[in-house]
Structure formats: C-alpha cells, structure tokens
C-alpha cells in the first residue's frame, strides 16, 4: 500500500501538467496563424502590385512624353494648313509728339515730331493647303491696308505685347475680309462659315 502513494501522486501531477500545456497551445496557435495570415497578405500585395499589375510611375518626364506623343498623333490625323510668309518691310507710324507743345512765342512749324517706324515680318496660316493661292491673290491689297493701319498707330500702341495682339487680330480680320471679297466660288463668298486665315504669326517685329 505504501508503494502506491508515489504512483497516485504522479497520476495527480500528470493531469495538472497536461492542463497547463493545453492552456498554452491555443494561444501559440493563434499567434502563429496571425503571423501566417499577415505574411500571406504582404506577399499577396507585393505580387499583385509588382508582378501582376505593373502601373507605370507618373513623373514629369513621362507625362511630357505622353502629351508629346498625343500631339504627334493628332498632327498625323489632322492635315496641317499652309503658311504664307510676308516681309520683311518697314512702315512708318505716327510721329511723337502728335500735337504741338512748344514754348510761348514759338510756332508749330518750328517743331517737328520724332519719326517712328516698324520693321516687321509675319506669316498667315490658312486652314487648307490648297487655300494658299487665295492669300497670294490678296497680297497687294493686304499690304496696302497694313500700311494704312500702322500709319494711324502711335508708338505706344504697338510696343506692348497687348498692342501686338490687337494688331494681329486686326490683320487677321482684314485678310479674311479681302478673301471673302474675291470673285468666284473658291473664296467662299460673304456667307462663308469658316475663315480661310486662321492665325497671324509675327516672325520679326521691331519698333523704332
């Protein structure tokens, strides 16, 4: 009977140790599972972004290349119009001062204003290449109108950027008006919906 006591004590100790081990296993398993899930999620995200879905990085250089490519495609798809050059030539503008402001006792004939002139070249852009001949037909009257237009402008009217924009708009309107006045169907007539000349570009513009 005395020998059975150690075995009984051992049997009582065994269940308590087993309970402690079983109490630790669930927590360890949960920890391992969470780590495994996190690792799989990270690897999945990496595989998707780097291997499956390779999105190009948007940088300033890549965006410029994309826009330039699009512009080239549009240029190829749409035929570009012709450009007709004019000049260079020199035209006088209003002298300064325009009005007499002399001292008392002097006469207007004793004072002359400072002479100014414009040396310029420009290009007219037409919608279609075959419309270039229309601009050639109005070359002489267009230059005559330009001389009259600039002859009535003062120095301060055209030295600014805004002044050149105004001059370009006036020249554009004169060119299209002269083309609409040409005889024949090729000019489009007075009721033409689209102007032949689309833009005016100053290639040289010096005011002195």
**pLDDT, tens digit, for every residue of 98-109?**
555 555 555 555
> Which CATH class for the 81-207 domain?
alpha beta
Q: What is the pLDDT of residue 125?
A: 93
Beta-bridge mates of residue 126: 197
Return the pLDDT at 77: 43
Would you call 174 exposed, middle or buried from its count of C-beta atoms within 10 A (0-12, 13-18, 19+)?
buried
How many beta carbons lie within 10 A of that of residue 176, not counting itself?
Answer: 20
- Given a cut of 70, the residues of the chain with pLDDT beneath it are 1-30, 46-58, 60, 62-64, 70-80, 98-113, 185-193
Amino acid 46: pLDDT: 67
**pTM tops 0.75:** no
Output the pLDDT for position 25: 56
β-strand partners of 202: 122
Task: Give me the pLDDT at residue 73, please.
Answer: 61
Q: How far apart (Å, rounded) are the C-alpha atoms in residues 165 and 171? A: 10
């Amino acid at each position: 009977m005395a020998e059975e006591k150690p075995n009984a004590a051992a049997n009582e100790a065994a269940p308590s140790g087993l309970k402690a081990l079983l109490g630790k296993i669930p927590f360890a398993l949960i920890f391992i599972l969470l780590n495994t899930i996190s690792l799989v999620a990270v690897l999945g995200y990496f595989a998707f972004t780097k291997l499956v879905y390779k999105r190009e990085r948007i940088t300033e250089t890549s965006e410029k290349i994309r826009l330039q490519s699009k512009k080239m495609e549009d240029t190829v798809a749409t035929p570009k119009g012709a450009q007709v050059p004019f000049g260079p030539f020199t035209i006088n503008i209003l002298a300064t001062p325009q009005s007499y402001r002399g001292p008392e006792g002097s006469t207007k004939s004793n004072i002359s204003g400072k002479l100014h002139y414009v040396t310029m070249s420009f290009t007219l852009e037409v919608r279609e290449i075959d419309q270039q001949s229309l601009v050639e037909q109005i070359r002489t009257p267009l230059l005559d109108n330009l001389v009259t237009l600039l002859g009535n402008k003062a120095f301060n009217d055209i030295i600014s950027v805004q002044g050149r924009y105004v001059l370009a708009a006036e020249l554009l309107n004169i060119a299209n008006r002269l083309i609409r006045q040409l005889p024949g169907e090729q000019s489009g007539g007075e009721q033409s919906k689209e102007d032949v000349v689309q833009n005016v570009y100053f290639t040289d513009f010096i005011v002195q």
